[in-house]
Amino acid sequence: MEDEINIIRDNIKEFSSKNLDEKDIESKGIDNDLIEKLSSQGIINSNVSSKYGGLELDKKASMAIIEEVSKYSPSVALYAYISGIYIKSIENSEIEDISADIASGKKTAAVSFSNKNDGDKIYDVFFIKGNDALAVINNDLFYVSGTYEVRESLGFRGIKFGDLKVETKKKIGNSESFIKALKYMDPELCAMSIGLMYGSMEKAFEYSKIRKLFNTKIKDFGPVAYTISDIMSKLDIIKYYLYGNGRIDFAKNFISSIIIDVTRAAVNIHGGYGFFTDFGIEKYYRDSVTLKSLGFMNIKRELSDSIYGEKSGFI
């Protein structure tokens, strides 16, 4: 199985290096041509049921795909994650046929992660195009459509972010369907986060071997070399733990504690150049901040409930 995963990784690396220009994606967004390519490569349908046109790969293969993609384009990795949540949420609902269109790239997924939605407005939607989204309103899951109000987003600029003024809505289930979909995609969330951190540190590692200070490569300075080495060892540990069937809540907790520090360190190693988009490093920091707020804000409560085996830490 490990050999098969490595083959998948190599294929995704080759595809990503040729097709995922993050500067272009961040400035122009994810276009129709790229979405079709993501579908044909199994990036947005790797763990989707074959009845919807998906590849129905196992979890580790799906995780490896999103991890490798995230090294090159966190925005594309996030869209793959959102697509997985969307398709899983509408399983066995009256709109489940939409899954086939999303898996094939004919339609794009849009999901709200807000808990303040109401019947008139849906907040914090990640979308690419169109006028619809999945959203939880008062413990029920709705398929809504209307008009988007695009907002400025700190991270994942390859995907649009905003609020949707509701014109029509259809109840398709309860919030439990959405919560289960989030938990189902937790391994991919962790893999995406690991890929994002690896992507930032690989750039820092390569930069440290060519950048000179006082006629000396900065890799020869202890603070730089030790920082990169320490972080890479931690990333390898959490990666092997995650792929070795480690507990997802433990992995999420550890990732949430380091993801921003890791990407910030990668920027700092670049010095002032780290803040220039030309070097392609600052996006990892921006994306890490957004990703932590998106997928890890409740991890302490989830972890304590899991450890105690009952509701805890709520006072």
At 97-111, the pLDDT tens digits run 999 999 999 999 999
Q: Say if residue 206 is in the same domain as residue 272.
A: yes
pLDDT band with cut points at 50, 70 and 90 for residue 210:
very high
Does the residue 180 lie in any domain?
no
Q: Say if residue 76 is in the same domain as residue 117.
A: no
Strand-strand pairing, 160-174 and 140-150: antiparallel
Q: Say if residue 302 is in the same domain as residue 250.
A: yes
Out of 47, 71, 104, pick the residue that ends a domain. Answer: 104
Q: Say if residue 300 is in the same domain as residue 204.
A: yes
In CATH, what number is assigned to the domain containing residue 265?
1.20.140.10
Tell me the pLDDT of the chain averaged across its residues.
Answer: 95
Q: Which pLDDT does position 314 carry in this prediction?
A: 83
CA gap 297, 300 in Å, rounded: 8
pLDDT at 1 over 80: no
Out of 53, 76, 104, pick the residue that ends a domain. Answer: 104
Number of domains in the chain: 3
Q: Which pLDDT does position 278 carry in this prediction?
A: 82
Average pLDDT over residues 184-211: 97
Q: Say if residue 124 is in the same domain as residue 58.
A: no
CA gap 233, 219 in Å, rounded: 16
Strand-strand pairing, 216-217 and 140-150: unpaired
Does the residue 215 lie in any domain?
yes
Average pLDDT over residues 252-264: 98
Q: Say if residue 217 is in the same domain as residue 159.
A: no
pLDDT at 230 over 90: yes
Q: Say if residue 233 is in the same domain as residue 118.
A: no
CA gap 43, 37 in Å, rounded: 9
Out of 149, 174, 199, pick the residue that ends a domain. Answer: 174
Q: Which pLDDT does position 23 carry in this prediction?
A: 86
pLDDT at 121 over 90: yes
Q: Say if residue 189 is in the same domain as residue 303.
A: yes
Q: Say if residue 26 is in the same domain as residue 98.
A: yes
User: Domain limits at 9?
Assistant: 2-104
pLDDT at 276 over 90: no
> pLDDT > 90: what percent of the chain?
87
pLDDT band with cut points at 50, 70 and 90 for residue 145:
very high
Q: Which pLDDT does position 288 carry in this prediction?
A: 97
Does the residue 313 lie in any domain?
no
Q: What angle do CA 225, 270, 207 make, to 5 degrees?
A: 60
- Least Cα distance to 35 among 23, 25, 49, 50 occurs for 25
pLDDT at 277 over 90: no
pLDDT band with cut points at 50, 70 and 90 for residue 282:
very high
Q: What angle do CA 11, 13, 16 make, to 5 degrees?
A: 110
pLDDT in tens, 20-79: 998 899 999 999 999 999 999 999 999 898 888 899 999 999 999 999 999 999 999 999
Does the residue 179 lie in any domain?
no
pLDDT at 154 over 80: yes
CA gap 172, 216 in Å, rounded: 62
pLDDT band with cut points at 50, 70 and 90 for residue 190:
very high
> pLDDT > 70: what percent of the chain?
100
Q: Say if residue 189 is in the same domain as residue 302.
A: yes
Does the residue 286 lie in any domain?
yes
pLDDT band with cut points at 50, 70 and 90 for residue 281:
very high
Q: Say if residue 167 is in the same domain as residue 191.
A: no
Q: Say if residue 195 is in the same domain as residue 294.
A: yes
pLDDT band with cut points at 50, 70 and 90 for residue 112:
very high
Does the residue 212 lie in any domain?
yes
Does the residue 315 lie in any domain?
no
Q: Which pLDDT does position 134 carry in this prediction?
A: 97
Does the residue 79 lie in any domain?
yes
pLDDT at 135 over 90: yes
